[in-house]
Amino acid sequence: MYTKEVIKHFRRPKNLGPLKNADVCAQVGNPICGDVLKIYLKVINNKITQIGFETIGCVAAIATSSMITELAKGKTLTQAKKITFQDIAKQLGGLPKVKMHCSQLAVQALQQAIKIYEQKNKS
């Protein structure tokens, strides 16, 4: 059902855990399946220098959370905004159709964190 890459990110997620000095934290959830994702960003010069996450959910929810942190780390906020749920699924070698909502939740969390950061740091 899951690719080797999905299982790898589930068993050994990248960037797992909160950031102590995060500039922003955003939380999103899916009331239908119960998944909850919290994402933390540290931003310097408009670039995501550190990123962390905490997820309560299934294998796909954890794997997609891990993958979005890998895709966003080191990117500018503008570049990170362009990450799509298809990008996540592709990097994971695919997801079952019934689990694509997990990649959408990961994108939603990142977008929400960026939006909050930009609102807090308007000049």
* Domain CATH for 54: 3.90.1010.10
Q: Which two tokens stand for residue 93?
A: 């070698």
Does residue 123 or residue 99 have the better pLDDT?
99
- pLDDT mean over 47-70: 97
**Residue 105 confidence (pLDDT) above 70:** yes
Instruction: Provide, rounded to the nearest whole percent, the portion of the chain with pLDDT above 90.
Output: 93
- pLDDT mean over 103-111: 97
The type of residue at 80 is: A
The answer as to whether 104 is a domain residue is yes
Q: Is 58 a catalytic residue?
A: no
pLDDT in tens, 20-58: 999 999 999 998 889 999 999 999 999 999 999 999 999
Q: Is 25 a catalytic residue?
A: no
The answer as to whether 122 is a domain residue is no
Candidate list 102, 105, 109, 113, residue with the active-site label: 102
Query: What is the rounded CA–CA span in Å between residue 67 and residue 61?
Result: 10
Number of domains composing the chain: 1
Question: What is the reported pLDDT for 33?
Answer: 86
The answer as to whether 108 is a domain residue is yes
The answer as to whether 33 is a domain residue is yes
Candidate list 33, 36, 100, 116, residue with the active-site label: 33
